[in-house]
Chains A and B, each alone.
Chain A
Amino acid sequence: MKTHISPTALARDTRFNRQTSEDRFTDPRSTMEVGHVDPMAEDVGDRARRRMHGIFVGEIQALEGAGRTAFDFPAGDDYANGEIPYELKLDMARQCWDEARHCEISIKLAEHMGGELGEYVENTMLFEAACHNDPVFRLAGVNRALEGLAIDVFTQMRDFGRETGDPVMVYCEDFMLADEVTHVKMGSKWLRAVTENDPERRKSALEFQRVVDGLFNFRGQRGEEYESPIRLARQFRKMAGFTDGEVDVIAEAAAKERAAIEAEQMAASILAE
């Protein structure tokens, strides 16, 4: 089997429709804005179904990405030449199992919410990050940035389940949240271990993580306020090994982006008047 496949090789059945990252970022209809899943909003059902479909898409690509990392790199201690620790491969296989369960859970929850697979378009940005040639970048981009995002999303959906009186949702999201904390910890542990003697590589990987975090700020929609569409789960992120400083950086980057967008919108409305 070939190692290091292209992200376009990702196989899907016919019910799914794919959108490239380029298409998504150049879409003039602000599709990056995910919106707050407000339990009191009129369209809460639609928003929640869309969010749950997004969770499923994230989980399946995380499964596929972890699988590729388990396969693509041989076990060994020559980290500079593409080998990775045997135990890291074991952790990736473990992550495959966890993500497979998360897919099963999100499929059942989506059905429970009246949604169906393929109802929304699939963006492959997560899998693209999981196809990086350097395993350390995969750990930074997927396990730390995107699994970190999953911590935020699951915490928020668990709280949404509490607010809407849905114990099944609360139960499932809480189990998935526990797994995601473990996956972020794995990422932090192996990123440190593999780059122990290569500070430049570590620095570049962390820079890549910031880029991925920036892309998933959803045009500045991450924040710590209750009404933030994606609320940063500081407590669980710290449990997973993030420092307060790292969470502050994500929050500040999102706030800056939000301010810039608001300024643009204000300028546009003044010009229109």
Chain B
Amino acid sequence: MASSPRTPFAPWDRRELPGKFTVEETARRVGHYKWFEMRMFELMAGWIATIPELDIKLRLGTHSYHHAFHSELWHKRLPELREMNPERKTVAPNPELEAFVTELGAPEGDDKTLEKLVGMYRVALPAVISTYTYHRNNTSKITDSPTIRSLQFCLNDDMEEWVEAEMTIQSLITDADDARRAADRQAELTTLLIAAGGIAGPGSVGSFDLEES
């Protein structure tokens, strides 16, 4: 017996068309994400040997893998966005972001754990979280569901890391000098990131400009 017709979308399903990004724009952003995630996992991995605090070494080992996994998600998404040579899109959006990453990795000594963590977890990671959140909230939940799924995987890891790392940073800041070191480092790197426009270049988290938005 034929059933009576139902609406194709459930009354509670509010997904809409279209999204903010074209296929090409999505591929451009995804390529920048892969490039940045690679730099994050490499730096975290490289720091493990030169950071003396045991608990931090172990957390970096875990976090490094998270970002390697995220870079792989973007690597696999690129061919689905008609980019058959993923390496072509695996680039920084501009030289300013390359300069930011160079500075992010600059602290070398085993007494620079605070600078390393502040750079990664108070500047780089929040930039990733805000960029991914902007992307997730502005793309179409229908046409671009695969990107949203990957963004959500990344954000789940990132939010957990952010909290964990912030608690660690707070445990390292024990006096006014430490507080100043952390603030100076954050300001220095934030300035460089502003020059780059964010991890995906200008427009990483959208715009308040009435015409552009």
Contact count A vs B, C-beta below 8 Å: 103
Say yes or no: A9 contacts B61, CB within 8 Å. Answer: no
Choice from B47, B62, B72, B106 contacting A97 with Cβ under 8 Å: B62
Contact of A71 (CB < 8 Å), options: B43, B51, B71: B43
Stretch at the interface among A10-18, A24-32, A138-146, A157-165: A10-18
CA of A94 to CA of B67, assembled, Å: 10
- Stretch from B9-17, B52-60, B133-141, B178-186 that touches the partner: B52-60
B122 within 8 A of partner (CB): no
**Stretch from A85-93, A170-178, A193-201, A233-241 at the B interface:** A85-93
A127 interface residue per 8 A CB criterion: yes
Question: In the docked arrangement, what's the CA distance between A65 and B61, Å?
Answer: 11
Which B residues touch A1, using CB under 8 A?
43, 46-47, 105-106, 108
Q: Which residues A217-264 have CB closer than 8 A to chain B?
A: none
B-side contacts of A37, CB under 8 Å: none
Interface of B is mostly: helix
B68 and A2 contacting across the interface, CB-CB below 8 Å: no
Specify the chain B residue showing the minimal Cβ separation from A64.
B49
List of A residues within 8 angstroms of B106 by Cβ = 1
Interface pair B50/A89, CB less than 8 Å apart: no
Contact A70 B62, beta carbon cutoff 8 Å: no
Q: State whether the Cβ of B42 lies closer than 8 Å to any Cβ in chain A.
A: yes
* Residues of A close to B51: CB separation below 8 A: 11
Q: Does B147 contact A (CB under 8 A)?
A: no
Q: Which residues of chain B have a CB within 8 Å of any CB of chain A?
A: 38, 41-54, 57-62, 64-65, 67-69, 71-72, 75, 105-106, 108, 110
A residues engaging B (CB < 8 A)? 1-3, 5, 9-13, 60, 63-68, 70-72, 75, 86, 89-90, 92-94, 96-97, 99-101, 103-104, 117, 127
Closest 6 CB pairs of A and B: A100-B61, A71-B46, A93-B68, A97-B65, A67-B45, A70-B45
